[in-house]
Amino acid sequence: MIYLADTANIDEIRELFNYFPMEGVTTNPTILSHENKNMSTVIPQIQECIKDKMLHIQTISERAEDILLEAQRYRDYFNLNDNYYVKIPVTKEGFKAIRLVKDAGMKVTATAIFTQQQALIAAKAGADFVAPYVNRLDNISSHGIDVVGDIVETFKSYHINCKVLGASFKNVDQIYRVSMVGCHAVTASYEVLEAIMKHPMTDKGVMDFEKDSKNLYDI
Ligand code: G3P
Protein backbone atom coordinates (compact mmCIF):
# COMPACT_ATOMS: atom_id res chain seq x y z
CA MET A 1 0.00 0.00 0.00
CA ILE A 2 1.31 3.42 -0.82
CA TYR A 3 0.90 6.56 1.27
CA LEU A 4 0.05 9.99 -0.05
CA ALA A 5 -0.35 13.27 1.81
CA ASP A 6 -3.76 14.91 1.56
CA THR A 7 -2.51 18.42 2.26
CA ALA A 8 -1.18 21.51 0.52
CA ASN A 9 0.63 22.77 3.61
CA ILE A 10 4.29 23.08 2.66
CA ASP A 11 5.68 22.55 6.17
CA GLU A 12 3.61 19.40 6.58
CA ILE A 13 4.61 18.08 3.15
CA ARG A 14 8.30 18.83 3.80
CA GLU A 15 8.20 17.04 7.14
CA LEU A 16 6.32 14.01 5.82
CA PHE A 17 8.58 13.59 2.77
CA ASN A 18 11.68 14.09 4.89
CA TYR A 19 10.85 11.31 7.33
CA PHE A 20 8.48 8.84 5.72
CA PRO A 21 8.29 6.82 2.48
CA MET A 22 5.67 9.08 0.91
CA GLU A 23 4.66 8.56 -2.73
CA GLY A 24 2.82 11.76 -3.48
CA VAL A 25 0.42 14.56 -2.64
CA THR A 26 -3.29 14.92 -3.33
CA THR A 27 -5.06 18.27 -3.40
CA ASN A 28 -8.55 19.56 -3.92
CA PRO A 29 -10.17 23.02 -3.68
CA THR A 30 -10.96 22.57 0.03
CA ILE A 31 -7.40 21.57 0.86
CA LEU A 32 -6.03 24.52 -1.13
CA SER A 33 -8.46 26.90 0.59
CA HIS A 34 -6.91 26.03 3.97
CA GLU A 35 -3.57 27.48 2.85
CA ASN A 36 -4.90 30.85 1.76
CA LYS A 37 -2.52 30.87 -1.21
CA ASN A 38 -3.26 30.86 -4.92
CA MET A 39 -2.72 27.70 -6.88
CA SER A 40 0.00 29.36 -8.93
CA THR A 41 1.98 29.89 -5.72
CA VAL A 42 1.33 26.68 -3.84
CA ILE A 43 1.67 24.06 -6.60
CA PRO A 44 5.28 24.99 -7.50
CA GLN A 45 6.13 24.90 -3.78
CA ILE A 46 4.67 21.40 -3.53
CA GLN A 47 6.57 20.35 -6.67
CA GLU A 48 9.79 21.60 -5.13
CA CYS A 49 9.22 19.41 -2.04
CA ILE A 50 8.06 16.20 -3.71
CA LYS A 51 10.25 16.24 -6.86
CA ASP A 52 9.10 13.39 -9.13
CA LYS A 53 6.50 11.88 -6.77
CA MET A 54 2.82 11.85 -7.69
CA LEU A 55 0.86 15.09 -7.72
CA HIS A 56 -2.94 14.88 -7.92
CA ILE A 57 -4.66 18.15 -8.84
CA GLN A 58 -8.44 18.42 -8.89
CA THR A 59 -10.39 20.09 -11.69
CA ILE A 60 -13.34 22.37 -10.96
CA SER A 61 -14.99 22.72 -14.40
CA GLU A 62 -18.47 21.32 -14.92
CA ARG A 63 -18.50 20.25 -18.56
CA ALA A 64 -16.31 17.37 -19.70
CA GLU A 65 -14.66 19.39 -22.48
CA ASP A 66 -13.82 22.15 -19.99
CA ILE A 67 -12.39 19.62 -17.54
CA LEU A 68 -10.04 18.47 -20.31
CA LEU A 69 -8.97 22.04 -21.10
CA GLU A 70 -8.44 22.74 -17.39
CA ALA A 71 -6.33 19.58 -16.96
CA GLN A 72 -4.20 20.55 -19.95
CA ARG A 73 -3.84 24.10 -18.62
CA TYR A 74 -2.37 22.85 -15.32
CA ARG A 75 -0.12 20.37 -17.11
CA ASP A 76 1.34 23.12 -19.30
CA TYR A 77 1.42 25.91 -16.69
CA PHE A 78 3.17 23.80 -14.05
CA ASN A 79 5.20 21.83 -16.57
CA LEU A 80 3.82 18.57 -15.21
CA ASN A 81 4.74 15.19 -16.63
CA ASP A 82 4.15 11.55 -15.87
CA ASN A 83 3.65 12.11 -12.15
CA TYR A 84 0.59 14.31 -12.78
CA TYR A 85 -2.86 12.87 -11.97
CA VAL A 86 -5.96 14.80 -12.96
CA LYS A 87 -8.49 14.45 -10.15
CA ILE A 88 -12.01 14.37 -11.54
CA PRO A 89 -15.17 14.10 -9.40
CA VAL A 90 -17.48 11.36 -10.70
CA THR A 91 -20.38 13.46 -11.93
CA LYS A 92 -22.04 12.57 -15.25
CA GLU A 93 -19.73 15.04 -17.01
CA GLY A 94 -16.86 13.74 -14.91
CA PHE A 95 -17.26 10.19 -16.25
CA LYS A 96 -17.09 11.56 -19.78
CA ALA A 97 -14.10 13.73 -18.86
CA ILE A 98 -12.18 10.69 -17.57
CA ARG A 99 -12.21 9.25 -21.10
CA LEU A 100 -11.29 12.57 -22.71
CA VAL A 101 -8.40 13.20 -20.33
CA LYS A 102 -7.10 9.65 -20.75
CA ASP A 103 -7.36 9.90 -24.55
CA ALA A 104 -5.32 13.10 -24.30
CA GLY A 105 -2.55 11.09 -22.62
CA MET A 106 -2.94 12.15 -18.99
CA LYS A 107 -3.51 10.03 -15.91
CA VAL A 108 -6.74 10.23 -13.93
CA THR A 109 -7.83 9.86 -10.33
CA ALA A 110 -11.61 9.59 -10.13
CA THR A 111 -12.65 11.21 -6.88
CA ALA A 112 -15.62 11.77 -4.56
CA ILE A 113 -16.56 8.09 -4.86
CA PHE A 114 -19.20 6.68 -2.53
CA THR A 115 -20.24 3.42 -4.19
CA GLN A 116 -18.71 0.34 -5.77
CA GLN A 117 -20.58 1.06 -9.01
CA GLN A 118 -19.21 4.60 -9.30
CA ALA A 119 -15.74 3.10 -8.90
CA LEU A 120 -16.35 0.38 -11.47
CA ILE A 121 -17.70 2.82 -14.06
CA ALA A 122 -14.80 5.24 -13.45
CA ALA A 123 -12.35 2.37 -13.91
CA LYS A 124 -14.09 1.26 -17.11
CA ALA A 125 -13.84 4.84 -18.34
CA GLY A 126 -10.08 4.58 -17.86
CA ALA A 127 -9.28 5.98 -14.41
CA ASP A 128 -5.89 4.99 -12.98
CA PHE A 129 -7.06 5.50 -9.39
CA VAL A 130 -10.48 5.68 -7.78
CA ALA A 131 -10.80 7.54 -4.49
CA PRO A 132 -13.61 6.36 -2.18
CA TYR A 133 -14.31 8.71 0.77
CA VAL A 134 -14.12 6.45 3.81
CA ASN A 135 -14.89 8.79 6.70
CA ARG A 136 -17.67 10.59 4.84
CA LEU A 137 -19.29 7.19 4.23
CA ASP A 138 -18.92 6.27 7.90
CA ASN A 139 -20.50 9.61 8.83
CA ILE A 140 -23.70 8.87 6.91
CA SER A 141 -24.11 5.53 8.67
CA SER A 142 -22.65 3.68 5.72
CA HIS A 143 -19.45 1.59 5.87
CA GLY A 144 -16.39 3.11 4.24
CA ILE A 145 -14.21 0.05 4.77
CA ASP A 146 -16.79 -2.28 3.20
CA VAL A 147 -17.09 -0.02 0.14
CA VAL A 148 -13.30 -0.01 -0.25
CA GLY A 149 -13.21 -3.82 0.15
CA ASP A 150 -15.99 -4.27 -2.44
CA ILE A 151 -14.13 -2.10 -4.94
CA VAL A 152 -10.86 -3.97 -4.39
CA GLU A 153 -12.64 -7.32 -4.88
CA THR A 154 -14.49 -6.10 -7.97
CA PHE A 155 -11.29 -4.93 -9.63
CA LYS A 156 -9.69 -8.27 -8.78
CA SER A 157 -12.61 -10.33 -10.17
CA TYR A 158 -12.73 -8.43 -13.43
CA HIS A 159 -8.94 -8.10 -13.78
CA ILE A 160 -9.25 -4.33 -13.87
CA ASN A 161 -5.98 -2.51 -13.71
CA CYS A 162 -7.18 0.44 -11.64
CA LYS A 163 -5.97 1.14 -8.13
CA VAL A 164 -8.05 2.04 -5.09
CA LEU A 165 -6.88 5.21 -3.36
CA GLY A 166 -8.69 5.35 -0.02
CA ALA A 167 -9.40 8.97 0.98
CA SER A 168 -11.18 10.90 3.71
CA PHE A 169 -9.75 9.42 6.90
CA LYS A 170 -10.20 10.69 10.40
CA ASN A 171 -8.39 8.06 12.42
CA VAL A 172 -5.71 5.40 12.49
CA ASP A 173 -8.18 2.52 12.66
CA GLN A 174 -9.76 3.42 9.30
CA ILE A 175 -6.35 3.30 7.63
CA TYR A 176 -5.47 0.01 9.32
CA ARG A 177 -8.74 -1.53 8.20
CA VAL A 178 -8.55 -0.41 4.55
CA SER A 179 -5.02 -1.80 4.39
CA MET A 180 -6.39 -5.16 5.59
CA VAL A 181 -8.94 -5.30 2.75
CA GLY A 182 -6.27 -4.79 0.11
CA CYS A 183 -6.59 -1.06 -0.56
CA HIS A 184 -3.69 -0.15 -2.90
CA ALA A 185 -3.10 3.39 -1.63
CA VAL A 186 -4.28 5.88 0.97
CA THR A 187 -4.19 9.64 1.14
CA ALA A 188 -4.49 11.23 4.56
CA SER A 189 -3.91 14.42 6.51
CA TYR A 190 -0.65 15.20 8.29
CA GLU A 191 -2.26 14.49 11.67
CA VAL A 192 -3.52 11.04 10.69
CA LEU A 193 -0.26 10.10 8.96
CA GLU A 194 1.75 11.20 11.99
CA ALA A 195 -0.54 9.19 14.24
CA ILE A 196 -0.20 5.94 12.25
CA MET A 197 3.59 6.13 12.33
CA LYS A 198 3.80 6.73 16.07
CA HIS A 199 3.23 4.58 19.12
CA PRO A 200 3.72 5.59 22.77
CA MET A 201 5.15 2.14 23.60
CA THR A 202 7.81 2.60 20.91
CA ASP A 203 8.76 5.97 22.41
CA LYS A 204 8.91 4.43 25.88
CA GLY A 205 10.99 1.51 24.60
CA VAL A 206 13.48 3.88 22.99
CA MET A 207 13.72 5.96 26.17
CA ASP A 208 14.46 2.81 28.18
CA PHE A 209 17.10 1.65 25.66
CA GLU A 210 18.74 5.04 25.86
CA LYS A 211 18.82 4.91 29.66
CA ASP A 212 20.11 1.32 29.79
CA SER A 213 22.83 2.00 27.21
CA LYS A 214 24.61 4.53 29.47
CA ASN A 215 28.31 3.67 29.80
CA LEU A 216 27.87 0.34 27.94
CA TYR A 217 28.09 1.49 24.36
CA ASP A 218 31.76 2.40 24.33
CA ILE A 219 32.59 1.76 20.69
O1 G3P B 1 -8.97 13.35 -0.49
C2 G3P B 1 -10.31 13.46 -0.05
C3 G3P B 1 -10.52 14.38 1.01
O4 G3P B 1 -9.72 15.50 1.05
C5 G3P B 1 -11.83 14.50 1.65
O6 G3P B 1 -11.52 14.35 2.97
O7 G3P B 1 -11.60 14.77 5.35
O8 G3P B 1 -12.79 16.33 3.78
O9 G3P B 1 -13.66 14.02 4.17
P10 G3P B 1 -12.47 14.90 4.14
**CA torsion angle 24 30 31 35 (round to 10):** 150
The rounded mean pLDDT for the chain is 97
Question: What span, in angstroms and rounded, lies between the C-alpha atoms of 121 and 105?
Answer: 19
Centroid of ligand 1 to alpha carbon of 10 (angstroms): 18
CATH match of 2-212 with 3.20.20.70: yes
Q: Binning pLDDT at 50, 70 and 90, where does residue 14 land?
A: very high
Predicted pLDDT of residue 7: 98
* Tens-digit pLDDT profile for residues 48-99: 999 999 999 999 999 999 999 999 999 999 999 999 999 999 999 999 999 9
The CA-atom distances, in angstroms, between 103 and each of 18, 88, 106 are: 35, 15, 7
Centroid of ligand 1 to alpha carbon of 134 (angstroms): 9
Ligand 1: list residues with CB < 6 Å: 6, 26, 28, 31, 133, 135-136, 167-168, 187
- Domain ranges, ordered by start, for the chain: 2-212
Which member of 87, 92, 107, 156 is catalytic? 87
87 flagged as catalytic: yes
Which residues are 86's β-sheet partners? Answer: 57, 108
Do the beta carbons of residue 165 and residue 186 sit within 8 Å? yes
* Tens-digit pLDDT profile for residues 144-191: 999 999 999 999 999 999 999 999 999 999 999 999 999 999 999 999
Centroid of ligand 1 to alpha carbon of 169 (angstroms): 7
Q: What is the mean pLDDT of residues 114-135?
A: 98
Counting ligand 1 atoms within 8 A of each CB, the residue from 30, 54, 137 with the most, and so the one to mutate, is 30
Nearest CA to ligand 1 atom 8: 168
DSSP 8-state symbol, 167: B
